[in-house]
Amino acid sequence: MSITFKKVEHIYSEKTPFSYHALKGVDLNIEKGKMTALIGHTGSGKSTLIQHMNALLLPSAGEVHIEDILITATDKPESLKPLRKKAGLVFQFPEYQLFEETILKDIIFGPKNFGINEDEAIEMAKKVLKMVGLDESYLEKSPFDLSGGQKRRVAIAGILAMDPDILILDEPTAGLDPQGAKEMLNLFKKINQTGKTVILVSHDMDQVLEYCDEVIVMNKGKVEKHVSVDELFKETSYLMSLSIDLPIITSFIHELNQNGFHIDPTIKDMNKLIESIGGELNE
Ligand SMILES: Nc1ncnc2c1ncn2[C@@H]1O[C@H](COP(=O)(O)OP(=O)(O)O)[C@@H](O)[C@H]1O
Ligand SMILES: [Mg+2]
């Protein structure tokens, strides 16, 4: 198992009048190599949960294991460096964290901090910049001259430059145009296909259906479900009870099935759906 949570609690501002119990008894096992979506309402604890995966937050109680590294309330890993290299976390709106004068400097900041020499770091910067869809001419530009979407790509490149085993993304496509969002998701899928674990916080169920293997549903600080994507989208009434929008195709199948069809709700592909409808009409 690459990521394990055992009875994890998180209380913000514990023992103050402002204390808030954001994670309650979280048990989780996320297998290596999977692409897992983390969904749930705003305030359900998604961002709090993922910040435990690289010890930005420590559990108030319980244990977090990231491969062979243990994190508890009292056992902060002796050196966070190996953990930060292992688990790369891209915050929501990471573009606000760019701070160097050139894109190159911004991207090599992390790798250099981990002791990689300058030449290697520069090679890495070129490689990851290309991965996020920007050419080498950007290296000497200022991150502040870029569009919002380009800044986001640079921020993601900075995390990829550390070559993490686990890539954690907090709503990476929020506010991007559909084409930009699609390119980004394709990139994460490609990274996942090289054997890396990807955790994706998302509100977009079409993304979850198309790209992810498994889904974790958070509700009021608890993990309510951890199932395969197929399992989740079979449970249309459960999703509707959470007022989670179904993926477009799943919603369409649901409508058809409400009207006498018996179509497999796990179909993800429009051609397959058309085939199934045709098959039933010909019966
Ligand atoms: N730094 C903080 N101090 C106090 N409460 C917080 C803090 N950060 C988040 N919270 C609260 O914890 C709950 C979970 O927040 P969060 O993990 O950001 O949820 P999500 O990412 O699912 O929207 C929310 O009610 C939020 O207001
Ligand atoms: Mg959040």
Q: How far, in Å, from the CA of 12 to the mean position of ligand 1?
A: 8
Cα four-point dihedral sign 71, 74, 77, 80:
positive
In a domain, residue 266? The reply is: no
pLDDT at residue 53 tops 60: yes
In a domain, residue 264? The reply is: no
Ligand 1 in reach of 16 Cβ (< 6 A): no
Tally of structural domains, the chain: 1
Ligand 1 in reach of 20 Cβ (< 6 A): yes
In a domain, residue 277? The reply is: no
Overall pTM > 0.85: yes
The number of the ligand 1 atom at minimal distance from the alpha carbon of 44 is 22
Residue ranges making up the domain that contains 220: 3-246
In a domain, residue 69? The reply is: yes
Here the CATH number for the domain that contains residue 33 is: 3.40.50.300
The answer to whether the beta carbons of residues 25 and 9 sit under 8 Å apart is yes
In a domain, residue 267? The reply is: no
In a domain, residue 253? The reply is: no
Looking at residue 244, its pLDDT comes to: 82
In a domain, residue 42? The reply is: yes
Q: For residue range 215-231, what is the model confidence (pLDDT) as tens digits?
A: 999 999 999 999 999 99
What share of the chain has pLDDT > 90, as a percent? 76
Ligand 1 in reach of 12 Cβ (< 6 A): yes
* Positions of E strands within 31-153: 35-39, 61-66, 69-72, 87-90
β-pairing verdict for 35-39 and 61-66: unpaired
Looking at residue 79, its pLDDT comes to: 67
In a domain, residue 128? The reply is: yes
